C-alpha cells in the first residue's frame, strides 16, 4: 500500500502541478461552452446597422404603412441605445429590458426608399440588384396589385430581393408589417372591428407549475416552474462538467504511460514495484486529480451563479451522486487509456484505438436533448443503464429535476461498478504484458489474448 500511495502521490503532482493543467482548467469550459458564451455576448452587444430598402408598391396601399413602421422601429432602437449606453440608468433598466425583449435579435434600422411603380420592368429590377451588389442598397420589395386579395395567385405574391433573402430578418419584418395592414383591410371589408378581433384573440397564458409538495408543518404548496432555458441547459451543464472531469483526468493517463514506456522509465519503476502496484497507484492518483478538477469547477460555478443570481438553481443535492459516478467514470476510462498506452510505443499508433473510445465518451452529447425532454422515457433509461455512458447520462437525467425512480441510479451505479472492476482487471492484464513490449505494434488479436490470459 505504501508503494501504491507513493506512485499515486507522484501521479497526482504530475497531473495538477503543471502550467498545462491550469491552462486546460481555463480553456476546457471555454471550448465546451464557448458557443453559449458567444450567444450571450452577442445578445448584449449593440450591433445596429442601417438597412436601406426600396419599396415598389403597385397597389399603393402599403408603402406609407411600411415607412411609418420603420420610423417607429428606428425610434425604438434609438431609445434602447440611449438607455444601454447610459452608465447610470436612473431607473430605466426595466424599460431597456422591455425594448430589448421587443426587438429580439433584429436591431437593424430600416430606411425606406419609395420607387415609382409606373413602368417598372425587368431592367429596373436589374438596376436595383446592381445597387445591392454595390452595397448602396440592402434589398428591394415588390408588392403587386391584389396582394391583399383573399384569392391571390402566385403572380400576386410579395417578393423580397436581397443577397441573404432566405436568412434576412428584414424579410420577416416586411412580412409582419404588410400582413398587419392586409389583415386590417380584410376585416374592414368584412365589416369586422379589428380591435374586437384582437381582443377576442388574446392568448391566455398557461403557466407551468411544479408538483405540489408537503412541508414539515403539513402545509402543501407549489411554485412556478423555472425558466425554460434554465430547465434545458442546466442538465446539459451538469453533463458537460462530468465529461470535462472524466476527459481531463483519463486522457493524461495515456500520455503518462507512453512517456514512461518510450523513455524506459517503466523498466526502472518495475524494479521497485510490481505491475499491480504501478497501475493501482496511477489510477488512485488519477481519481484524486479528478476530484481536484471537480472541486475547482464546482467552486467556480458557484461563484458565477451567485454573481448572476442563479445560486438557488445549483443542484447541490446531486453532488454525492456526481462524485460517485465521476470516480467510476474516471476509473473506467483511465483504465482503458492505460491499457492502450501500454500496448503501443508511439501516440500515432494509438489513434486507431482511441477513436472508438472518444466516440463512446462523447455519445451522450449527441442525444442529450432527447434525454432532457423525456428523462423517464425508455431511450433515456436504457442509455443511463449502459455502463460506458451511465455516469454522464444518469447525471443528465437526475439534473432535470424529475422524479427518477431511486432503483435506476442505484442499478446504474451497481452496473458501472461491476463494469469498472472488469475493465480494470482486463487493463491490468494488458498493462502487465504491454508495459515492457517493444518493437512492432501488437495486433488486436494479441491484445485480446493478453486480456484473456494475462
C-alpha dihedral, 40 to 42 to 48 to 50, nearest 10°: -130
Q: 28 versus 59: which is more confidently predicted?
A: 59
Highest mean pLDDT (candidates 26-35, 55-64, 336-345): 55-64
Q: What is the pLDDT of residue 182?
A: 86
The partner residues of 54 in beta bridges, in order of sequence, read: 113, 140
What's the CA gap between 167 and 159, in Å, rounded?
A: 14
Q: Categorize the per-residue pLDDT at 96 as very low, low, confident or very high, splitting at 50, 70 and 90.
A: very low
Q: What is the pLDDT of residue 242?
A: 86
Q: Is the pLDDT of residue 81 over 80?
A: no
Q: What phi and psi values does residue 221 have, to the nearest 5 degrees?
A: -155, 165
Q: 203 versus 25: which is more confidently predicted?
A: 203
Q: What is the pLDDT of residue 92?
A: 44
C-alpha dihedral, 168 to 169 to 171 to 177, nearest 10°: -170
Query: Whose CA is closest to 402, among 392, 391, 394?
Result: 394
What's the CA gap between 402 and 408, in Å, rounded?
A: 13
Q: What is the pLDDT of residue 194?
A: 81
Q: What is the pLDDT of residue 337?
A: 87
Q: What 3-state DSSP class applies to 112?
A: strand
Contact partners, residue 397, CB within 8 Å, separation at least 6:
235, 371, 375, 380, 384, 404, 408
Q: What phi and psi values does residue 223 have, to the nearest 5 degrees?
A: -135, 165
The DSSP secondary structure of 39-64, one letter per residue, reads: HHHHHHS----EEEEEEEESSSSSHH
The partner residues of 229 in beta bridges, in order of sequence, read: none
Q: Other CB atoms closer than 10 Å to residue 185's CB: what's the count?
A: 14
Element (H, E) at 141: strand 139-143
Contact partners, residue 409, CB within 8 Å, separation at least 6:
321, 394, 398
Q: Is the pLDDT of residue 271 over 80?
A: no
Average pLDDT of the residues in 116-126? 91
Q: Kindly tell me the sign of the dihedral angle through the C-alpha atoms of 348, 350, 355, 358.
A: negative
Query: Whose CA is closest to 161, among 141, 146, 178, 134?
Result: 141
Q: What is the pLDDT of residue 160?
A: 93
pTM above 0.85, yes or no: no
Count of alpha carbons within 13 Å of 57, Cβ hemisphere only? 18
**Hey, what's the cell of 359?**
466516440
Identify whether the C-beta of residue 327 lies closer than 8 Å to the C-beta of residue 213.
no
Q: Categorize the per-residue pLDDT at 200 as very low, low, confident or very high, splitting at 50, 70 and 90.
A: confident
**Considering the chain, what percentage of its residues have pLDDT values greater than 90?**
18
Identify whether the C-beta of residue 225 lies closer than 8 Å to the C-beta of residue 209.
yes
Q: What phi and psi values does residue 92 have, to the nearest 5 degrees?
A: -95, 10
Identify whether the C-beta of residue 227 lies closer than 8 Å to the C-beta of residue 214.
no
Identify whether the C-beta of residue 429 lies closer than 8 Å to the C-beta of residue 451.
yes
Average pLDDT of the residues in 247-274? 76
Q: Categorize the per-residue pLDDT at 26 as very low, low, confident or very high, splitting at 50, 70 and 90.
A: confident
Q: Other CB atoms closer than 10 Å to residue 244's CB: what's the count?
A: 20
Q: Categorize the per-residue pLDDT at 94 as very low, low, confident or very high, splitting at 50, 70 and 90.
A: very low
The DSSP secondary structure of 202-219, one letter per residue, reads: PPPP---BPPPEE-TTS-
Q: What 3-state DSSP class applies to 264?
A: coil
What's the CA gap between 239 and 252, in Å, rounded?
A: 21
Average pLDDT of the residues in 213-238? 72
Q: Is the pLDDT of residue 165 over 70?
A: yes
Q: Is the pLDDT of residue 103 over 80?
A: no
Identify whether the C-beta of residue 263 lies closer than 8 Å to the C-beta of residue 423.
no
Rg (CA), the chain: 31
Q: Categorize the per-residue pLDDT at 88 as very low, low, confident or very high, splitting at 50, 70 and 90.
A: very low
DSSP conformational letter for 388: G
Q: 210 versus 139: which is more confidently predicted?
A: 139
Residue-wise pLDDT tens digits, 233-243: 778 888 888 88
Q: What is the pLDDT of residue 448?
A: 81
Identify whether the C-beta of residue 353 lies closer than 8 Å to the C-beta of residue 446.
no
Average pLDDT of the residues in 255-260? 78
Q: 153 versus 405: which is more confidently predicted?
A: 405
Q: Which long-range contacts (CB under 8 A, 24 or more apart) does 184-190 make?
A: 185/61, 185/148, 186/148, 186/150
Q: Categorize the per-residue pLDDT at 105 as very low, low, confident or very high, splitting at 50, 70 and 90.
A: low
The partner residues of 114 in beta bridges, in order of sequence, read: 55
Q: 96 versus 392: which is more confidently predicted?
A: 392
Q: Return the minimum-mean-pLDDT range out of 148-157, 208-217, 323-332.
A: 148-157
Highest mean pLDDT (candidates 206-215, 286-295, 347-356, 434-443): 286-295
Average pLDDT of the residues in 82-102? 51
Amino acid at each position: 500500500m505504501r508503494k501504491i500511495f507513493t506512485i499515486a502521490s507522484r501521479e497526482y503532482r504530475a497531473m495538477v502541478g503543471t502550467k498545462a493543467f491550469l491552462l486546460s482548467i481555463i480553456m476546457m469550459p471555454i471550448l465546451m461552452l464557448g458557443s453559449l458564451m458567444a450567444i450571450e455576448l452577442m445578445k448584449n452587444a449593440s450591433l445596429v446597422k442601417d438597412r436601406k430598402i426600396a419599396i415598389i408598391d403597385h397597389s399603393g396601399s402599403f408603402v406609407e404603412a411600411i415607412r411609418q413602421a420603420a420610423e417607429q422601429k428606428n425610434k425604438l432602437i434609438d431609445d434602447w441605445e440611449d438607455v444601454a449606453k447610459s452608465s447610470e440608468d436612473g431607473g430605466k433598466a426595466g424599460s431597456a429590458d422591455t425594448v430589448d425583449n421587443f426587438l429580439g435579435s433584429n436591431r437593424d434600422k430600416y430606411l425606406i426608399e419609395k420607387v415609382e411603380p409606373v413602368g417598372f420592368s425587368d431592367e429596373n429590377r436589374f438596376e436595383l440588384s446592381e445597387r445591392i451588389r454595390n452595397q448602396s442598397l440592402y434589398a428591394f420589395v415588390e408588392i403587386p396589385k391584389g396582394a391583399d386579395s383573399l384569392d391571390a395567385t402566385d403572380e400576386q405574391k410579395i417578393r423580397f430581393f436581397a443577397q441573404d433573402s432566405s436568412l434576412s430578418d428584414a424579410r420577416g419584418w416586411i412580412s409582419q408589417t404588410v400582413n398587419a395592414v392586409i389583415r386590417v383591410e380584410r376585416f374592414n371589408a368584412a365589416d369586422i372591428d379589428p380591435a374586437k378581433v384582437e381582443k377576442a384573440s388574446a392568448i391566455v397564458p398557461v403557466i407551468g407549475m411544479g408538483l405540489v409538495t408537503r412541508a414539515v408543518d403539513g402545509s402543501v404548496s407549489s411554485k412556478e416552474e423555472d425558466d425554460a432555458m434554465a430547465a434545458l441547459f442546466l442538465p446539459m451543464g451538469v453533463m458537460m462538467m462530468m465529461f470535462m472531469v472524466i476527459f481531463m483526468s483519463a486522457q493524461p493517463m495515456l500520455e503518462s504511460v507512453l512517456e514512461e514506456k518510450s523513455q524506459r522509465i517503466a523498466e526502472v519503476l518495475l524494479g521497485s514495484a510490481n505491475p499491480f502496484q504501478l497501475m493501482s497507484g496511477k489510477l488512485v492518483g488519477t481519481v484524486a486529480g479528478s476530484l481536484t478538477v471537480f472541486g475547482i469547477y464546482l467552486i467556480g460555478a458557484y461563484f458565477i451563479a451567485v454573481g448572476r443570481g442563479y445560486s438557488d438553481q445549483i443542484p447541490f443535492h446531486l453532488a454525492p451522486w456526481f462524485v460517485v459516478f465521476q470516480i467510476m467514470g474516471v476509473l473506467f476510462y483511465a483504465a482503458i487509456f492505460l491499457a492502450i498506452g501500454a500496448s503501443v510505443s508511439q501516440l500515432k499508433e494509438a489513434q486507431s484505438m482511441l477513436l472508438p473510445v472518444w466516440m463512446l465518451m462523447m455519445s451522450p452529447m449527441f442525444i442529450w436533448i432527447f434525454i432532457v425532454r423525456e428523462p423517464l422515457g425508455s431511450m433515456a433509461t436504457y442509455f443511463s443503464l449502459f455502463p460506458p455512458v451511465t455516469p454522464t447520462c444518469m447525471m443528465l437525467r437526475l439534473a432535470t429535476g424529475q422524479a427518477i425512480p431511486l432503483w435506476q441510479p442505484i442499478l446504474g451505479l451497481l452496473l458501472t461498478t461491476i463494469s469498472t472492476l472488469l475493465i480494470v482487471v482486463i487493463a491490468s492484464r494488458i498493462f502487465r504484458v504491454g508495459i515492457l513490449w517493444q518493437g512492432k505494434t501488437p495486433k488486436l488479436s494479441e491484445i485480446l489474448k493478453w486480456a484473456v490470459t494475462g
